[in-house]
Structures are given as C-alpha cells and as structure tokens.
Amino acid sequence: EVTIEVIKTQGDKILDVSLSKIGDKGLFTKEIELALLNNKVDLAVHSMKDLPSVLEPGLCIGAVLSRENPQDVLLSRHAGGFAELPRGARVGTSSLRRIAQIKASRPDLIIVDLRGNVDTRIRKMQKEGLDAIVLAYAGVKRLGYEDLITEILPCDLLLPAVGQGAIGVEIRAGDNETAGILALIDHEPTRLGVLAERSFLRTLEGGCQIPIGALAEITGEGLNLSGIVASLDGTVKYQGALQGKPEEAEEIGLSLANQLLSRGAGQVLTEIRRLGDKK
C-alpha cells in the first residue's frame, strides 16, 4: 500500500517571475528532498530535468523509468512548422536553453517569457495572442494534448534539456529495501543515458537555467552523447558529440564537457553567470 504526499515546491509557487531571475538550484526539488531526508516520505518522484546535477548528501537515484520522447515540440497558431513561422512571430518560453537555440536559428523571432504548467501555457498562448509556444513533448503527451502539436522539433534545431522526458525516483542512500523494490522498474538504457547527460551538465557546472542541452541514446554501436552550450542570444554555440560504451556513461559525459570547455565554452558560461549575478 502506497500513500502519496503532494509537496509544493518553490518553483510551483512562484509563477510571476522568470526562472532565470529566481535561480534554479533545487527550484522544483528542494522541499521534496527535505521531506525525504527527514523521513517524512520514503521516495521522491522527479522529472529528471528538474533534479540538480549534484544530489543532496544522503540521497541517491533508486530508479529511472523508461524514457518518453525527449524532444521539444512547437504548438503554433499558424500552418506549417518552426521554419514557417512569420518573421517577428511572438514565441512563448521561459527556458534559456530554448531561447538561445531558437535565436541561433531564427534571430527575427520575439521571445515572450511564459511560465506555468502546460494547461496554463496553452491558455496564455490563446489569451495573449502568442504565435507559438515551445514545450516538452513528454508533458504535452501526458496531459493528452498531442493533437495540438504542430511540429516535433528535431534535435539538430533544439537539443533537449538534460534528463528531459525521463522520470526518476530518489531515495535515501542505504535504504536497501526500497532500492530492491525499485530495481524492478529501473530501465537501464534510460538510466545510463541520463547519467551521461548529468555528468556532462555537472562538469560544466550548469543548471536548468543555463543554455545547455544534451541527449544520450544507446544503439547497437554504443552510447551516443550530443551536447551544446550556447550564449543567451544564440550567436555563439559550442556543440559536439561523443560515442562510447554504455557502462562508461559518466566518463563520456565528462569527456564531452571537457572538449567543449577546451574550445571556449567556459567563457560563455562565465559571462552568463556574471549577468545572472547582476539580477
């Protein structure tokens, strides 16, 4: 028998301020993790994209479920997809990762800050006269709004957030009983892919409000990791890909991050953090 405890986080409560202005460390997880550490709950369910790349001491990932399509999608009031959006179209999103990559491809588009859950964002698109909004496919599908999708955006246009589309279960380290139960639902290919992405993010010292994207996929040839670091205006991009053995997921993420840093990505990240400190 399972009892569900619904815990509101800071990110759930603050909806009138851009995410980039209120910080991102544990924004959607801190209160839940505190309940776990204080033995008020035995496990915590997260969207892996919201989970900080460095966990709180005493906690660990007990399982990662099979991943939904990790891509972003466009919901548009116009016929055609992203390329067909009219010049100067107003596109709603609050993600710096999405903003940077959108601007890299379409600097003519006007970005409008958009917060709230999927239902709220769809209503705002209609109410505020936005031309389009960009959301995660997984969230749109889970709420049954697939028929509203105009285009599933290709990864060479918009690389997803680290862990996007994956659900993770966090537990207390050393809770072997719960870990044993969760092993039954753990999906190893997803877990290893997300591990590589999180290693990439952690090495770059990034969070969900830094323009960093990554996606790892396991095929017959091994684990393939793609990653990107972009400036806020999309004019500077560092991206790359690396392949290796799935069991070396963490090392692959570390190596790809270091490759981008050696090419100058660190300068972009330093500038973004400097601008963030001024807010």
**CATH number for the domain harbouring residue 26:** 3.30.160.40
pLDDT at 21: 52
Which are the contacts of 117, defined by CB distance < 8 A and separation ≥ 6? none
Burial of 202 by CB count in 10 Å (0-12 exposed, 13-18 middle, 19+ buried)? middle
- Asked if the model's pLDDT at residue 19 lies above 60, the reply is no
Q: Which residues are catalytic?
A: 50
63-110: pLDDT as tens digits: 999 999 999 999 999 989 999 999 999 999 989 999 999 999 999 999
The span from the CA of 241 to the CA of 279, in Å, is 33
Residue at 5 is within a domain: no
| Model confidence, pTM | 0.90
In 3D space, the residue among 221, 222, 216, 101 whose CA is nearest the CA of residue 164 turns out to be 216
Residue where a domain terminates, one of 96, 125, 152: 152
Secondary structure (3-state) at 211: coil
The DSSP H or E segment spanning 22 is helix 19-22
Mean predicted confidence (pLDDT) in 32-44: 94
Domain that residue 28 falls in: 10-68+162-277
176 and 148 co-located in one domain:
no
Do 17 and 47 lie in one domain? The reply is yes
Tokens representing 166?
């994956």
pLDDT tens per residue, range 180-237: 999 999 999 999 999 999 999 999 987 656 899 999 999 998 999 999 999 999 999 9
> Does 58 share its domain with 106?
no
Structural domain ending residue among the three candidates 152, 184, 208: 152
Distances in Å between the alpha carbon of 144 and those of 115, 140, 149, 232, 244?
20, 6, 11, 32, 36
Side-chain-side CA neighbours of 230 within 13 Å: the count stands at: 27
User: What does pLDDT average to over the chain?
Assistant: 92
**Statement to judge: residues 58 and 110 lie in one domain:** no
Give the tokens for residue 80.
């055609």
Going by the DSSP 8-state scheme, the letter that residue 42 receives in this structure is S
Q: Has residue 240 been placed in a domain?
A: yes
Same structural domain, 54 and 186:
yes
Instruction: For residue 4, tell me if it sits in a domain.
Output: no
Q: Are residues 189 and 127 in the same domain?
A: no
Clarify whether residues 203 and 269 are in a common domain. yes
Dihedral over alpha carbons 41, 119, 18, 207 (to 10 degrees): 50
Q: Which of 152, 187, 204 is the last residue of a domain?
A: 152
Name the domain count of the chain.
Answer: 2
28 within domain boundaries: yes
Q: Rounded CA gap, 170 and 45, in Å?
A: 6
CA angle 55, 256, 71 (to 5 degrees): 70
